[in-house]
Structure 1
Amino acid sequence: MTILKAENISKQYRLGTIGTGTLSHDLNRWWHRIRGKDDPYLKVGEVNDRSTASTSDYAWALHDINFEVQQGEVLGIIGKNGAGKSTLLKILSRVTSPTTGEIKTRGRIASLLEVGTGFHPELTGRENIYLNGAILGMTKAEIKAKEAEIIDFSGCARYVDTPVKRYSSGMRVRLAFAVAAFLEPDILVIDEVLAVGDAEFQKKAIGKMQDISTSEGRTVLFVSHNMAAVKNLCTRAIVLEHGRSVFEGDVEDAIDFYVSRKDTTVGFNRNTIKKETSGISISNIRILNRFGEEKSTVLSGDEIYLELSILNKALEGPFSLGVGIYDINDMPLIHCSTEVMDKCYDDISETFSATLKILKWPLVQGEYYMNCYIKRNSDLLEHLEACFWISGEKGDFYGHGKLPSWKKGVYIDYEWQ
């Protein structure tokens, strides 16, 4: 049974400072409406590409979105930042209305669009449970029957009678998720809020969402940048790009499509700085083979050298370095640090290089990126995210010209006896 249907959903926003020049536009809209004509500003506007300068006063956050969701289905909605995912969920949750189109739903919808959405900061956690339940249309008796389960699942029993304004962001999302999940909505809408919770709670929350869909036959709409969570939880997915739906289908096919659209320019890039200091920085990264030749593609089984060029303006030491290697789904695969090898660099010259030697590149064919950091004792001095992309291809890892048929995981040295 179809429980949610979106037909020709579009959302247009006006760019620039709110209130500037909108009166004339409002009058123009009113004049067209009383004459039975279409809104004149629906014919203008640009696609929602956040990285380009605008030439129009209007932008389409969403444009002509159509899909259906069946009862008990878990639908993933994925896309880059600014693709329109949160706007779509706000429309589905009735937080905002579409410019054009129509949403048809059956039953109650519960939403977790931001941390602690709908919580009153002056009320206690327990009072907010009853407030949110009432908003969802539950009676006091129904909420009371679920109260103990909600508090137990949230893990906030000690603070449930404390005002929510004193909660951490993690405690708020724990309680908000528990309320939404246990008050039995027909459709549960979740927008990336689980990224705030700790690993233990994320695991509990994903397990609860699986129970909601499989055991209880309720529907979940899930937005996340964590492709592993999407793959683990969802049965189908939609990919949004610049406010348009560019793919809809099986979740693994959707993730492969989304990944193929990522900008993965091979080489070094300092544009993703998480933390930096003026005293020391990573100025370049290169991949070299055993002959000292620079490479952009490596084969599984290759001996490679990851060379980090360090600019040490402060002329201070010692330093420790670390490199994390991730796949295109943001899953951590390898972490190599000088700390675990009980090594540090005490070179205090202005420029020097540090080289990580990997005897046999262990990863399967695919695209990978690296996060790098510099520490002095426990102080983080430099942290670059996705600062280096590398392309991996099939190689002769085992020296026999054969590799396993699967396309995931890592290769290891082993022998049968």
Structure 2
Amino acid sequence: MFPVISVSNLGKEYIIGGKQTGYRTLRESLMDSIKAPLRHIKKETGHMVKEDRFWALQDINFEVQYGEVIGIIGRNGAGKSTLLKILSRITEPTLGSVRLRGRIASLLEVGTGFHPELTGRENIYLNGAILGMHRSEINRKFDAIVEFAEIEKFLDTPVKRYSSGMYVRLAFAVAAHLESDILVVDEVLAVGDVQFQKKCLGKMQDIGKNGRTVLFVSHNIGAIKTMCTRCVLLKDGRLVKCDETNDVISAYLAFEDAKHTVDIVPKMRAKGNGWVTFKSCSIFKMDATPANSFLIGEEFYIDIFLETVHDNSMYFWLIIFNAEGTPVLSSHQGDIELLKVDPGLYTLRCMMKDIGLMPGHYSVTVGAFDKGKTFLEWIDRCQTFDILSTFLDGSPYDYRWGMVNQKVNWQLTAYEC
């Protein structure tokens, strides 16, 4: 049987940088396009400006069979969204080819594929027409789409007035129910609420069981492991591995853990008087395995190798920031006692137990102070780690509220009148 998707020697190049031109007339733009359609060096204000080139994808080769549910994973900037846009025929490749056998429906960015001035009802028929479906075919699916999206009350409202969550509900319902052979879904589902996300994941599993093909991009490793039979791993625009899901996830986590130790150089030093020098910062699992990625609830520890040149009484501070730069955890050893430190080399260990961090990317800032709160050393964002979207028992993350999932003691007492 022929593959439903065949990707061969695929590459995508973007032109970045260079000076921005000022406002120009339509005539000037038309004449410029006629004179130099292939020009890559622009002349502005008497200077030649060379444009930088960036390969978002290079030498990508893989095939997908009918009925497969394929996960596409990798860090931000790996090329996942660019690949999906090419497969969805939104972006043209620079090199190579993509062969699709069948109709494709895509759910990429919030709002793509919808006309903002049209109502939800009108956009359902528009998307069906784009897929080449007859009106009678869309009519048969219409009630199922509306029921799945749960927005019947707003069906005749222009979608430009929808919230992002409503957009996603309708967009997924349309993409999943209309008769496409291939469904492409980016991480856009993260916009929806918890129950709707679960419903979408279940629907994608059903689509695969019914013989249709699904390509699913997500940072939720638990969902990838549950849904996908095979995975594609991208790194810096290149295909690293295309294999069974567990093998690809193991390779992905190995890449994530590759920089478990960061040597601290002078330019990283924000404050300090030279009495204490942090040399390196390392992260380990509790069995001493170097790591930079952990499951939800998994315990780990951070080691800071340091040198002191004066005897002093001091305390140490650690702050963890999320990807948006918001401090989500702060702790300093001075809560317990000041440490009397003689000149020499030391390893400072911070045990991270029951901290309850939600899935995401985090950075670590560390500092040292004397008893008068004078900065002895302060290193901002010296190390990073990730909390994956999977619990210790292997179950996928269920999108809870807040920045931390803290364990507390609950007690229910009957009220006596």
TM-score past 0.5 threshold:
yes
Q: Give the 3-state SS of the residue equivalent to 1:122 in structure 2.
A: coil
- Residue 138 in structure 1 maps to residue 133 in structure 2: yes
Q: 1:232 to 1:26 in 2, by over 3 A?
A: farther
Please state if 1:91 is matched with 2:86: yes
Residue of structure 2 equivalent to 1:11: 12
TM-superposed deviation, 1:116 = 2.0
1:330-387 CA distance string (max 9 Å, x none): 753279xxxxxxxxxxxxxxx98457xx999699xxxx98789xxxxxxxxxxx9997
For residues 222 and 382 of structure 2, what CA distance do their matches in structure 1 show? 18
Q: Indicate the RMSD between aligned Cα atoms, in angstroms.
A: 4.1
Deviation at 1:195, TM superposition (A): 1.1
Q: CA contact under 8 A between 1:268 and 1:389: conserved in structure 2?
A: no
**C-alpha displacement of 1:408:** 5.8
For the Cα contact (< 8 Å) 2:260–2:292, is it kept in 1? no
Q: 2:328 matched to 1:333?
A: no
CA deviations on 1:374-410 (whole Å, 9 max, x unpaired) are xxxxxxxxxx99976599xxxxxxxxxxxxxxx9649
Query: Taking structure 1 as reference, are residues 298 and 118 closer, same or farther at Cα in structure 2, changes over 3 Å only?
Result: closer
Task: Indicate how the Cα distance of structure 1 residues 157 and 327 shifts in structure 2: closer, same or farther if over 3 A, else same.
Answer: farther
Change (3 A) 1:122 1:145: same
Matched residue type, 1:333: G
The answer to whether structure 1 residue 248 and structure 2 residue 242 are counterparts is: yes
Task: Give the AA of the match of 1:12.
Answer: E
Question: Secondary structure of the equivalent of 2:168?
Answer: helix
- Counterpart amino acid of 1:10? G
- Aligned partner (choices 44, 65, 72) of residue 70 of structure 1: 65
1:4-25 CA-to-partner distances (Å, cap 9, x unmatched) read: 10111111111125876x9699
1:79 to 74, 79, 84: 74
Q: Deviations over 1:16-72 (max 9, x none)?
A: 25876x969994849xxxxxxxxx99xxxxxxxxxxxxx972111111111100000
CA contact (8 A) 2:9 2:95 kept: yes
Q: Alignment partner of 1:261: what SS? A: helix
User: What is the alpha-carbon distance in structure 2 between the residues aligned to residue 19 and residue 253 of structure 1?
Assistant: 45
> Across the two proteins, how many residue pairs are aligned to each other?
292
Q: Report 1:14-413 matches (<5 A).
A: 14-17=15-18, 27=36, 29=38, 57-214=52-209, 216-262=210-256, 265=259, 297=284, 299=286, 328=293, 331-333=295-297, 353-354=334-335, 389=385, 409=393
Are the aligned partners of 1:239 and 1:254 in contact in 2 as well (CA < 8 Å)? yes
How much has 1:299 moved relative to structure 2?
Answer: 3.8
Q: Is the 8 A contact 1:149 1:182 kept in 2?
A: yes
Alpha-carbon distance between aligned partners in 2 of 1:94 and 1:257, rounded to the nearest angstrom:
29
Distance (Å, rounded) in 1 between the aligned partners of 2:11 and 2:34: 19
CA distance in 1, matches of 2:141, 2:162: 22
Contact 2:184 2:215 in 1 (8 A): yes
**Offset at residue 178 of structure 1 (A):** 0.2
Whether the 8 Å CA contact 1:93–1:109 is kept in 2: the answer is: yes
TM-score of the two chains, using structure 1 as the length reference: 0.60
| Residue aligned with 1:184, SS | coil
* CA-CA distance at 1:174 after TM superposition: 0.7
Kept in 1, the 8 Å contact 2:292–2:384? The answer is no
1:295 offset after TM fit, Å? Answer: 9.2
Q: SS at the partner of 1:123?
A: coil
Distance 1:385 1:138 in 2: 53
Post-superposition offset of 1:213: 0.5
Q: Residue 12 of structure 1 contacts residue 61 of structure 1 at CA under 8 Å; is this kept in 2?
A: yes
Structure 1 residues 241 and 252: alpha-carbon distance in aligned structure 2, compared to 1, 3 A threshold: same
For the residue of structure 1 that corresponds to 2:239, the secondary structure is strand
SS of 1:173's equivalent? helix
1:347 paired residue number:
none
Could you tell me how far 1:162 is from its partner in structure 2? 1.4
Give the Cα–Cα distance (whole angstroms) in 1 for the partners of residues 240 and 282 of structure 2. 34
Aligned in 2, Cα 1:85/1:28: closer, same or farther, shift over 3 Å? same
Which ranges of structure 1 fall in alignment gaps of 5 or more residues? 31-39, 42-54, 270-293, 303-325, 336-350, 373-383, 392-406, 411-417
Question: Measured at CA, do residues 327 and 228 of structure 1 come closer, stay the same or move farther in structure 2, by a change above 3 Å?
Answer: farther
- Per-residue deviation, 1:118: 1.2
Cα distance, 1:18–1:192 mapped onto 2, change above 3 Å = farther
Q: Tell me how far apart the structure 2 counterparts of residues 371 and 299 of structure 1 sit (CA, whole Å).
A: 19
Query: In 1, distance between residues paired with 2:262 and 2:211?
Result: 47
Unaligned stretches of 5+ in structure 2?
22-28, 42-49, 264-280, 300-331, 337-349, 365-379, 395-417
| C-alpha displacement of 1:184 | 2.0
Identity of aligned pairs, percent? Answer: 51
Q: What letter is aligned with 1:92? A: L
Check 1:28–1:130 CA distance in 2 against 1; reply closer, same or farther (3 A cut). closer
Structure 2 vs 1, CA of residues 162 and 246 (structure 1 numbering), >3 Å: closer, same or farther?
A: same
- Deviations 1:74-108, CA, capped at 9 Å, x for gaps: 11111111111111111111111111111111110
